[in-house]
Chain A
Amino acid sequence: MSNNIATTPEELISKEYTAGFVTDIETETLPPGLSEEVVREISRKKAEPEWLTEWRLDALRRWEKMEEPTWAHVKFPPIDYQAISYFAAPKGDKPKSLDEVDPELLRTYEKLGIPLHEQKILAGVEEEPSQPRVAVDAVFDSVSITTTFKETLKEHGVVFCSFSEAVQSHPDLVKKYLGSVVPKTDNFYAALNSAVFSDGSFVYVPKGVRCPMELSTYFRINAENTGQFERTLIIADEGSYVSYLEGCTAPMRDENQLHAAVVELIALDDAQIKYSTVQNWYPGDENGVGGIYNFVTKRGTCRGARSHISWTQVETGSAITWKYPSVILRGDDSIGEFYSVALTNNRQQADTGTKMTHIGRNTKSTIISKGISAGHSSNAYRGLVRMNPGARDARNYTQCDSLLIGSECAAHTFPYIESRRQDAIVEHEATTTRVSDDQLFMCRQRGIEPEKAVSMIVNGFCRDVFRELPMEFAVEASKLLEVSLEGAVG
């Protein structure tokens, strides 16, 4: 359209993905390949108890018999699982305090705008003592570097630590809940994760406690030819509340890297978990070279009566995104929510959505999905709403909107409804719109430059989802959309 935004691909990329740098640090990696020995080695490195080693091995044996799923609306060349390294960690023992952390690592997080010093709060927000603080667990390749505000949280009885640490400090909880929501053999990638998972976060909020701050985990892939397989487990005991956020970035590389995470959430009676994701893995270049394969399994179970789980995700990165954060509504009167913004540009592909399984009586679910496609990308929503025979008076509302920018991209919607109840109320609304020339012209006539106009229009389109994000992350998310869209007009 206009010629005043001619930018070379190199310029665009460097402008687009600011998290694409590599940290120069000595890393200890396992040689590529997957075998029983590798799994044992990972488990040994983490000094895991016998039962967990066995658990992993069982997963590996089952995984070896499984086939990669092919139903998702994405295309990619076969992955050579023997060419991936399954463990990478900065050399040396885990630092005991921030002073022991390699300064190079601290600089990495500083560059990414992630606060590892407790007095600071997230970048993008003015420093005001009244602002809510955020506790951070920083996962670098396969290990957790540090977790902030642990002491403050401990005073409230909240456990927030790396998964590896939880295995040592809270083995009973881990044993009780690990795999209870996403079974080892749930799917190909979940089985792989169960065998080789390295680190991730663990949260336990005791009865009746409202977690005093936002909890967050930042995942950073740095090492080459490695995969990241993290495992997150969040348990909200009766009447508790927790809001958790994860963010992710990776360097720009020409090779694709695999990220296969598993997240399990458990909400007991009257508990509420808000889980937000701002996913900004390296998306690959404009020709589709490189980028992260983001194949994750996220599921929560509303185990208790009146429990409440909401997933909010802003997915702008990754070459391929394949994820369906889901809720099993087991407890009577429980609530499941899914708010999603998925943006694809250039050659990115996304197949994402949710599964709401209504088991308990009077359960409610809401799905708001906003898909934005630009460039030559492909964006699919895939959702399943299931009403089981016992789900008396269950209801679901689904709204699924697609926004297209340009004429080379594609949007698809695959809504599935399986209802075994006459009285279930299932509403579905879907729209597809385009950023129209008239809208762009109106903005430009008022002096708003085309790229700014598109990002403003896209932000407006996402409003209903951004509203669900904690304030400081909403700001971050909308900035992220802006950079992800660069080059989308022109």
Chain B
Amino acid sequence: MSLLEVSDLHVRVADREILNGVNLEVNPGEIHAIMGPNGSGKSTLTNTIAGQEGYIVENGDLRLNGTNLVELEPEERSYAGLFLAFQYPVEIPGVTNMEFLKTAVDSHRKQRGETALSSVEFIKNMRALVTKLDFNPEFLKRGVNESFSGGEKKRNEILQMLCLDPKVALLDETDSGLDIDALQVVAKGINEFRNSNNAVVLVTHYQRLLNHVVPDYVHVLLNGTIVKSGDASLALDLERNGYAWLEQDNSP
């Protein structure tokens, strides 16, 4: 059984149909990259999978490990093993990163029938993780994304991913706006995370992350459908030639 299965997905936002028949199958151990021009529907796809309000599934199916996601609340999808790294992470002033992460991890543990970790234990784990990610430990004490730089926010998403250890991680442009060092850190985090039982879906505009995290499949999303899928070399083609040649292919 595939880990994530998106079939014939039609999604409406307000009164606009944004996705019209997306199919995607992600198996354990795989890395998929989704590329496509601005406004083509990439974030719509990831937000819909995560269950954000306002993204109406008009038709089609969303399954994680066989479980139908469509009827589940966002937190239930999270418990099922879905993670979304946001394209634009928001701030929660006054709530420290540490508190936020512990609350999230404890909720997951509770769902699994496990007791909450002691603060001491949790802090120890976090410190180890932070060191591994070349993160400044001071970050844990700061408000969630509060006055973080763009790149710091993206790193923070990776930290959350590693903390929650999901089955499927959707990373929406986690590589955008990163300096060279931060890109390495993010790549390291993803490679640290991946194993033969989980999967990563990377939404990206650039080849550069894909040099470090080599995808098994690359898909091109255009005007709300996947118009082309291929292996890692497709990303290189896109980098050279842009999307215009696909638009023509796709024109009615």
The answer to whether A456 and B75 touch across the interface, beta carbons within 8 angstroms, is: no
Find out whether the CB atom of A457 lies under 8 angstroms from the CB atom of B92. Answer: yes
CB distance from A456 to the nearest CB of B (A): 6
User: When the two chains form the complex, which single residue of B88, B92, B104 contacts A447, counting CB atoms closer than 8 Å?
Assistant: B104
Q: Does A441 interact with chain B (Cβ within 8 Å)?
A: yes
Shortest C-beta distance, B105 to chain A (Å), equals 8
Contact mask B6-24 → A, CB, 8 Å, 1/0? 0000000000000000000
Residues in A with CB closer than 8 Å to B88 are 438
Is residue A418 within 8 Å, beta carbon to beta carbon, of the partner chain? Answer: no
B111 close to A (CB within 8 Å)? yes
Interface string of A438-457 (1 = CB under 8 A from B): 11011111111110100011
CA of A443 to CA of B164, assembled, Å? 13
Q: Is B90 a contact of A445 with CB atoms below 8 Å?
A: no
In the complex, how many angstroms separate the beta carbon of B4 from the nearest chain A beta carbon? Answer: 15
| A422 proximity list for chain B (CB < 8 A) | none
Q: Which residues on the A side are within 8 Å of B52 (C-beta)? A: 441
| A477 smallest CB distance to B (angstroms) | 14
A444 touches B78 (CB 8 A): yes
Chain A residues with CB under 8 Å of B50's CB are 441, 445
Contact for A460 among B84, B107, B111, B143, CB less than 8 A = B143
Shortest Cβ distance from B144 into chain A, in angstroms? 8
Q: Contact between A460 and B93 (Cβ–Cβ < 8 Å)? A: yes
Interface status of A35 (Cβ within 8 A of chain B): no
Q: Which one of B52, B79, B86, B93 has the greatest number of beta carbons of chain A within 10 Å? A: B93
CB < 8 Å A-B pair total: 78
Interface residues on A, range: 20 to 34
Q: A439-B90, A452-B107 are in contact. Are A446 and B160 (CB under 8 A)?
A: yes
In this complex, how many residues of chain B approach chain A with their Cβ under 8 Å: the count is 32
Chain A residue at minimal CB-CB distance from B161: A446
B107 close to A447 (CB less than 8 A): yes
A260 to chain B, nearest CB (A): 34
Residues on B with C-beta less than 8 A from A446 are 78, 100, 104, 107, 160, 164
Bound complex: CA of A50 vs CA of B58, how far in Å?
81
In the complex, the answer to whether A1 meets B94 with C-beta atoms within 8 Å is: no
Residues of chain A with a CB closer than 8 A to B74's CB: 441, 444-445
Residues of chain B lying within 8 A (CB to CB) of residue A438: 88, 90
Contact B100 A456 (CB under 8 A): yes
Known A-B contacts: A445-B50, A445-B51, A457-B95. Give 4 more (CB < 8 A). A438-B90, A447-B111, A456-B92, A460-B95
What are 16 A-B contacts with C-beta separation under 8 Å? A436-B90, A441-B50, A442-B90, A443-B92, A444-B74, A444-B75, A445-B50, A445-B77, A447-B164, A448-B104, A448-B107, A452-B103, A452-B107, A456-B95, A457-B95, A461-B93
